[in-house]
Amino acid sequence: MNMIRFTLIARTGDGLPLVATMESQKEEDVIARHKKLSKGIIATLSPEYRGVAMPAECTVTADEFSFHYMTSSGVVFLVLCDKSYPRLLAFSYLNEVTRGFFDELKATSTPIHSVHRPYSFIRFEPSLQSIKKRYINTRQLRTQEDLVDLSARIQSVDILDVRDVLSDDYLIAASMKRKPFAQSVSVKELTQAAYNVANVLKTEIGEAKGTPESQQRRSALLVWLSLIICVVDSLYLVFYWTRWEAPNNMIRDISTGRRSDPNAFETLSFLLLGLMTPIILVQAYHFNLQSHLPDRLANLSLAHWSLTVLQTIWALVCRNNVPPPGSTANRVYQSGLQRAAAWFGKWCMPLPIVLVKVVYIVLIGFAVGMGARRRWKRFKPSGLKD
């Protein structure tokens, strides 16, 4: 099946249901368990919820179904759909429901906070059924929404599993159990987990909170560190690996093979870092504009950071192949950067270069780590111990 099953509109403060669609007995038997879960999801949006509140818009998967919800002006609009139903259409449906509901409120002049009885707005149920009917046949749908803009917006909407959102009380009431760890881990879920970690980088750096001045300072720091890393890696390739003292010597060394042959990992890491560093510059530019970053940009930035970590570890554990300080052996073939590197004995890269990379690693790692910690606290099920 590929359809909308159930719609619920409730007040976020206390979870009071305002209106819900009435389904046939046959349909009710199919979704009865999941309707119980909808109350738990709405409860997580309450200010009194013990955990950190859920995002304003989210998709929560539950076996063969998915919940999609959005909040507006103290009201949550939640729809239960088949898992195969397009998210784009689900949120388009919610947008139309939201607009229709508030139009109804304006016509009746009934404040949301003044009602105390459940389903006080049941008169809106026929309108819900009318909108739902149009969204059942997706091929002939004529939506009032701008699907292009909506598609871009829902890319940033989180997708969570209901077992990671609700406490055991709600799951038991719906006859659901948490998956054992061995059964819950799959290649697809591990891939999604890695993708979520990459998105932390986007969230924490690209959409970081703070004053414009603090954002500009962080952006400038990323720009300068990225420029330094890019220049250092480029020069290091030329000076350290070609023994370049003059253009003629460089051409001669390349043509005759008389150069310090690097390890394959060193070659690839420096080349990739040089190519990937401009990505950080673009990221800093987007950060300065306080706009959302594309997911691929954030993922490549995280890859750049990971590669810098490996490169720095390599510098810490390997031995330099240039003569020790004071030695005159083969000095004629050494560039100025090689002679500087000789002062640091075991370092494959001069110590100042390593320190710059370490600072960069710490900054990005701190942003990702703190973001992951906040995400864990945000979505930690209520009542579970560490």
Mean pLDDT, all residues of the chain? 67
pLDDT bin (cut points 50, 70, 90) of residue 68 is: very high
> Strand, helix or coil at 269?
helix
Instruction: Give mean pLDDT, residues 152-162.
Output: 81
Candidates 345, 348, 338; CA nearest to 310 is 348
Greatest alpha-carbon span in the chain: 93
Please tell me whether residues 230 and 157 are part of one structural domain. no
229 in the same domain as 160:
no
The answer as to whether 384 is a domain residue is: no
Question: 8 and 154: one domain?
Answer: yes
For 184-202, what is the mean pLDDT? Answer: 48
Question: Does one domain contain both 258 and 363?
Answer: yes
Q: Is the pTM of this model over 0.85?
A: no
Q: Residues 106-118: what's their mean pLDDT?
A: 85
pLDDT score at 201:
47
Identify the domain boundary among 150, 184, 218.
184
Same domain, 130 and 220: no
Whether residue 215 sits in one domain with residue 131 = no
Phi-psi region at 284: left, alpha or beta (left = phi > 0; alpha = psi -120 to 50): alpha
Tell me what the mean pLDDT of segment 70-83 comes to.
92
* Nearest residue to 165 (alpha-carbon basis) of 383, 385, 320, 386: 383
Domain that includes residue 356, residue range: 205-379
Residue 330 falls within a domain, yes or no? yes
Residue 189 inside a domain? The answer is: no
> Where does the pLDDT of residue 276 fall: very low under 50, low under 70, confident under 90, or very high at 90 and above?
low
Record the tokens describing residue 377, joined without a space: 């606290």
What the block records as the tokens of 85 is: 């139903």
How far apart CA 218 and CA 234 sit, in angstroms, is 24
Q: Are residue 211 and residue 105 in the same domain, yes or no?
A: no
User: Do 161 and 222 belong together in one domain?
Assistant: no
CATH of the domain at 11: 3.30.450.50
219/172 same-domain check = no
Number of folded domains in the chain?
A: 2
Domain contains 339: yes
Asked if 233 and 373 sit in the same domain, the reply is yes
Say if 273 falls within a structural domain.
Answer: yes
266 and 178 inside one domain? no
For residue 164, is it within any domain?
yes
Range from 6-20, 153-167, 319-333 carrying the lowest mean pLDDT: 319-333
| Same-domain check for residues 180 and 213 | no
Dist CA 40 CA 33 (whole Å) = 12
Domain assignment present for residue 386? The answer is no
Residue 236 maps to a domain: yes
